[in-house]
Structure 1
Amino acid sequence: METKIVLSRPLSLERQSDQETNYKAPNILRRILSLFKNVRPGSDVSCFKLPPEFNMPKSELQCYAECVYSTALDILSNLNGGKTPLDRLISVVAWTISAVRPLWFGVAPYNPTLGETHHVSKGNLNVLLEQVSHHPPVSALHATDSKENIEIIWCNSTVPKFTGTSVEAHVHGKRELKLHNHGETYEMNSPNLLIRIFPVPGNDWFGNVTIRCIETGLVAELSYISQSFFGFGTNRRLIKGKIFDSLSKKILCKIEGHWDSTVTVKNTDNAEVRVIYDAKEVISGLQAPVVKDLERVWPTETVLVWNKLSEAILSKDWEKAKEAKKSIEERQRELHRERESKGENWVPKHFLVSCSKEKGWNCSPIEKWVPNAPIISL
């Protein structure tokens, strides 16, 4: 019997109301409040187990990957086109903004299992992720474009905490984008996620992001500004920032806009303003990846690990979904007990991983280039 693979559409600009209806449990707000009734404010909820009614049919690993491989315009390959270091940094800023996607309130992706992977290709871009730690949850990403000579390395460690009226998920870990043709490395961090329960339910990205080119000394600072507590005002999905020379401290550009619509950059020398990012062009109309070669799909591939659960969620068969999720969790506990009994430590297959109090988590890819994948992003 041929395996039916469930691959859901990427998170994109459209609300995808039909899909949201499929995933959401009835009386969603009341049920969310019941989940947190015994959780104290300030608690770390990274290991919080959600019933499948509150899951979207994809892993968090896939959500991270979509930020890199799923765009309507190939803005990544355009990064090499800038004639000056400033031009290239502005393009990197636009690409970084494209990695921020709208989320649906009331549903969350699966917590990836230890060793889970996601391997997808789009044109010359090959993307590979691996869950390198489960407690705490840490995801590693490596993406390479051999034609453009571009490399991306991410290490994501998310710490969600319940505040009493919301969940604040702080995303830790270094992100690097390397333009090898220009000998430039851009280091950056991620904004944080706010899941507001009261008084106005919704999701938003917030916090400060710094993008620094090590070789040129140019720096971009971005602020993602969330709505006010009561949801009033025009700050929804607002982004503001500047680009400056870290040596002279001179401000070269100012950045302003909304990450779900358009973002502009203003040159401080000549006051010229231009649009550098249009969300409608980049993250709308996105399609689900397709499996081109099932035999080459690794057993650890996220779409295989969670396939039965995703299928049950889409069909709203909640009893089957509970059984599928329970089976996955029990299998993970069984593997953990086996390792403990043998005195073995789990070792990632695709990354060298280290962690220290000073530098946090660091994930270095073992291979120089990511191979072509059997799953293709359209």
Structure 2
Amino acid sequence: MASQGKRQSKIVLTKPFSLEVDTTDLEPGYSYRAPNLISRLLSLLKNVRPGSDLTNLQLPPLFNFPKSQLQCYGESVYCTTSNSNLLTQCNNQQSPLERLTSVVAWSISTTRPTSFGVAPYNPILGETHHVSKGNLNVLLEQVSINPPVSALHATDEKENIEMIWSQQPVPKFRGTCIDAEVHGKRVLKLRNHGETYEMNCPRLSIRILPVPGVNWVGNVNIKCPETGLVAELSYNSSYSFLGLGGNSKLIKGKILDSSSSNVLYEIDGQWDSTVKVKDSNSGKVKVIYDAKEVISGLKTPTVKNAEGVWQTESALIWSELTQAIINKDWDKAREAKQGVEERQRKMLRERESIGEGWTPKNFLVSYSNESGLECDCSPIHKWVPAAPIIAL
């Protein structure tokens, strides 16, 4: 997995999504917000019927946040504050129950605030994103575009930890909102304990009317087959009349022993604040997750070795578009986006003309049903190598 050819343009990285309310901040002193957002969004959707799948909807750059969806997936894993290491905590807990509790906290930490009205770029086929944070090395690849499937492999050789994800967003227009379900499975392996934790992802709900907003909702189940312990989480939104007021970041749930159905812990809190567990036997309450400590004030990753960056890297492929959006140069942004998309179409046409299919470079992909909504992405390599891009 070496560098592929000469560098064509500079690598542009932007600030990750963090706890701060205004996630449209790109850099200190700079804020991006599309003008006349609601009217423009309604105009874009005026010919879309409720229930329509928006997977292939082409957004103009005005509606793009300056980074790829691959980067957003990766950031939810490697972008945490320097004084927090939830994965190490998962590994260091003494009992299966406390390890599952720590995995719940880590899973909640991957739920990141996002911004209304702007979306990341749709990754192109074969696009990759490769970043390291300490001993954790993270690699993502867009293994399919029809359906759009992103695969993630992350390893920490020192802690003997591995995670494997497959992600397929399916956004649908509901008339007054857009619901984006995220199909696929997330697996976290604590090899020192011989434990595998399987989990899913909440869905993203984008409300257009009556009050614009975006939030994570739905149910997340985390199970460990080796111990029989299960966590059931529910991401909820609570709004008052006409969508005003209320609390939109609620999370509730429980941890139970699947063999007896006994509830061991009750979970309650807000995923953008603190989450607590209450021992069902003793009544003791403790904080297991503090968003401010984990995802507040996150820093932009940095390039340690520019020559080691692959030509398929997200931050390189989309660099011209990202820079144009930062500069609010919309003519240049449209030109840059069209250039990337046309290069992809040309590659697909050339492959089709010679009957050559696409084979991912870092994953083996298999679909478990005819609908293509369930897939398994198995990494080809045991360990992810250290990356030329470093998360701070």
User: Post-superposition shift, 1:69?
Assistant: 0.3
Equivalent of 1:295 in 296, 304, 307: 307
User: Post-superposition shift, 1:6?
Assistant: 1.3
Do 1:23 and 1:53's aligned partners in 2 also have CA atoms closer than 8 Å? no
Do 1:154 and 1:173's aligned partners in 2 also have CA atoms closer than 8 Å? yes
- Tell me what 2:219 maps to: 208
- Tell me what 1:37 maps to: 46
In structure 2, do the counterparts of structure 1 residues 341 and 3 end up closer, same or farther at CA, with 3 Å as the change threshold? closer
User: Post-superposition shift, 1:23?
Assistant: 3.1
- Tell me what 1:374 maps to: 388
Do 1:227 and 1:235's aligned partners in 2 also have CA atoms closer than 8 Å? yes
2:285 & 2:257 partners in 1: Cα distance?
Answer: 19
User: Post-superposition shift, 1:235?
Assistant: 3.4
Do 2:24 and 2:33's aligned partners in 1 also have CA atoms closer than 8 Å? no
Do 1:119 and 1:301's aligned partners in 2 also have CA atoms closer than 8 Å? yes
In structure 2, do the counterparts of structure 1 residues 17 and 84 end up closer, same or farther at CA, with 3 Å as the change threshold? closer
Helix, strand or coil: the match of 1:169? strand
Helix, strand or coil: the match of 1:237? strand
- Tell me what 1:254 maps to: 266
Equivalent of 2:173 in 146, 162, 183: 162
User: Post-superposition shift, 1:91?
Assistant: 0.2
Do 1:24 and 1:54's aligned partners in 2 also have CA atoms closer than 8 Å? no
- Tell me what 1:106 maps to: 117
Equivalent of 2:150 in 139, 152, 156: 139
User: Post-superposition shift, 1:214?
Assistant: 1.0
TM-score using structure 2 length: 0.94
Deviations 1:331-356 (A, max 9, x none): 11100100000100000000000112
1:77 & 1:335 partners in 2: Cα distance?
Answer: 42
Helix, strand or coil: the match of 2:367? strand
2:123 & 2:201 partners in 1: Cα distance?
Answer: 19
- Tell me what 1:61 maps to: 70
- Tell me what 2:80 maps to: 71
In structure 2, do the counterparts of structure 1 residues 145 and 17 end up closer, same or farther at CA, with 3 Å as the change threshold? closer
1:297-316 equivalences under 5 Å are 297-316=309-328
User: Post-superposition shift, 1:209?
Assistant: 0.3
User: Post-superposition shift, 1:76?
Assistant: 1.3
Matched letter for residue 54 of structure 1 = F
Do 1:10 and 1:66's aligned partners in 2 also have CA atoms closer than 8 Å? yes
- Tell me what 1:47 maps to: 56
Do 2:154 and 2:162's aligned partners in 1 also have CA atoms closer than 8 Å? yes
- Tell me what 1:346 maps to: 358
Matched letter for residue 63 of structure 1 = C
Matched letter for residue 63 of structure 2 = F
Range 10-19 or range 27-36, more displaced: 10-19
Matched letter for residue 375 of structure 1 = I
User: Post-superposition shift, 1:3?
Assistant: 4.2
Deviations 1:247-285 (A, max 9, x none): 011000000000000000000010000000000000001
User: Post-superposition shift, 1:205?
Assistant: 0.3
Equivalent of 2:348 in 319, 331, 336: 336
1:279 aligns with 2:285: no
1:77-226 equivalences under 5 Å are 77-226=88-237
Percent identity reads 64
1:231 aligns with 2:243: yes
Q: Unaligned 5+ residue runs, structure 1?
A: none
1:267 aligns with 2:273: no
Q: Unaligned 5+ residue runs, structure 2?
A: 1-6
User: Post-superposition shift, 1:52?
Assistant: 0.2
Range 2-11 or range 207-216, more displaced: 2-11
Count of paired positions = 378
User: Post-superposition shift, 1:125?
Assistant: 0.2
User: Post-superposition shift, 1:77?
Assistant: 1.4
In structure 2, do the counterparts of structure 1 residues 18 and 154 end up closer, same or farther at CA, with 3 Å as the change threshold? closer
User: Post-superposition shift, 1:24?
Assistant: 2.2
2:311 & 2:13 partners in 1: Cα distance?
Answer: 15
For the aligned residue pairs, the C-alpha RMSD in angstroms reads 1.5
Range 103-112 or range 72-81, more displaced: 72-81
User: Post-superposition shift, 1:370?
Assistant: 0.2
2:20 & 2:374 partners in 1: Cα distance?
Answer: 35
User: Post-superposition shift, 1:82?
Assistant: 1.0
2:12 & 2:32 partners in 1: Cα distance?
Answer: 14
- Tell me what 2:374 maps to: 360
Do 2:211 and 2:244's aligned partners in 1 also have CA atoms closer than 8 Å? no
User: Post-superposition shift, 1:18?
Assistant: 6.5
Matched letter for residue 258 of structure 1 = Q
Do 2:68 and 2:122's aligned partners in 1 also have CA atoms closer than 8 Å? yes
